[in-house]
Structure formats: C-alpha cells, structure tokens
Structure 1
Amino acid sequence: MQRFGTLSFGHYGPLGGGRELTAGDSICQAIDLAQGMDDLGVNGTYFRVHHFARQQASPMPLLSAIAATTKNIEVGTGVIDMRYENPLHLAEEAAAVDLISDG
C-alpha cells in the first residue's frame, strides 16, 4: 500500500448513557483525529458535504482548521452535489483552504 486516508461521513448522535455527540463535538473530534493521523503518517483525510444536517454541513471551514493545525496530511472533500452550491463561492472557499494549507 502506497497511500492511506480516510473519508468521514460525520456521524453524530446518541453515545449511550444519555450522552449525545453534538455537531461541535463532531467537528472538534475530526480536527483532533486529523492531527493524530498526521502524526502517524496518514496521507489524507476527506469530508463529504452534509447540507441540511447539523454536523459538518460545510467542509471548507473544517478543512481550513485541519490544514492550519497539521503539517503533511492532505485534506479534501468527497462528493460535492453542485445542485446546492454556488460555484464561485465554492471556488473561493477552496482557494482559501489551499492558501491556509500552503498548497
């Protein structure tokens, strides 16, 4: 195997014992996991767009946070359904992630 990465589906919800994982918990855990994966040498982490869901509805801010706090891991998106996107806005957000990650 030459490359290894993850695709997160951003699940959250009941954890048992009455505790529920919030959208904020999900995002913070994704950042923490990406930092750990970067330390382990994982090549990439990718996130799907979950419009109309409470967790990770827009991956670009999350990808920016991961890019700003890791050194080597590649970040990206899974599928982006362009029916729900403004192409110019999406391109601007992706360009900002690219600048933050230094390519």
Structure 2
Amino acid sequence: MQAFGFLSFGHYGPTGGAHGPDARASLHDAIGIAEAADEIGVNGAYFRVHHFARQAAAPMPLLSAIAARTKHIEVGTGVIDMR
C-alpha cells in the first residue's frame, strides 16, 4: 500500500490586523483541509509548528481536533523544536 500525505506550509487565513492572520479562521481551515484530504484517501496530514504565530505554536490541540473529525488519516507534526 502506498502512503500519501501532506505537510502544511504558511498560514490558512486572511492576513490583516496588527497580529497577523485570523487565528480562528486559520485553525478551522487546517481542520477543513485535513477533513477533505481524509475524504479523498490521503493517508497523512502533518503540520508545522510556527512558534511566532500564536495559532500554530502548540500543534497538539489542532491535531486532536483533526483526529476527532477524521476517520482514516494519520496526523502528526512536521517539526517540533525541543527548546
């Protein structure tokens, strides 16, 4: 069996305001992308840790939300810095 996944890059949400992208929209978009990937048979969804973007500095809540809303996809992180 072939494995096919994706690694997130960038921000998924409108930019604007003094604090950058809208955190709520960014997280909802990431969940939506993972749900769509699960529906079409993608095996893995991996998310980068953006330490300076508050909505993506702690990936575990996002990964938990994705795991709760998908059936077959494996979730994980692309990189976690050990500070």
Same fold (TM over 0.5): yes
Identity %: 67
Structure number with larger C-alpha Rg: 1
Higher helix share: 1
What SS does structure 2 have at the residue aligned with 1:42? coil
Gaps of 5+ in 2: none
Q: Show the 5 A alignment for 1:31-46.
A: 31-46=31-46
Distance change in 2, residues 1:27/1:10 (3 Å): farther
Alpha-carbon distance in 2 for matches of 1:70, 1:58:
20
Render the CA deviation track for 1:37-81: whole Å, top value 9, x for unaligned. 101000000011112313311110000000001000000001111
What SS does structure 2 have at the residue aligned with 1:35? helix
Q: Does 1:60 align with 2:63?
A: no
Alpha-carbon distance in 1 for matches of 2:52, 2:72:
31
Gaps of 5+ in 1: 84-103
When normalised by structure 1's length, the TM-score is 0.68
Superposed CA RMSD? 2.1
When normalised by structure 2's length, the TM-score is 0.82
Runs ≥4 in structure 1, deviation > 2 angstroms?
12-15
Quick one: higher RCO (CA 8 Å, sep 6+), 1 or 2? 2
Question: Would the aligned equivalents of 1:48 and 1:77 in 2 still touch at CA under 8 Å?
Answer: yes
Deviation at residue 13 of structure 1 after TM alignment: 4.5
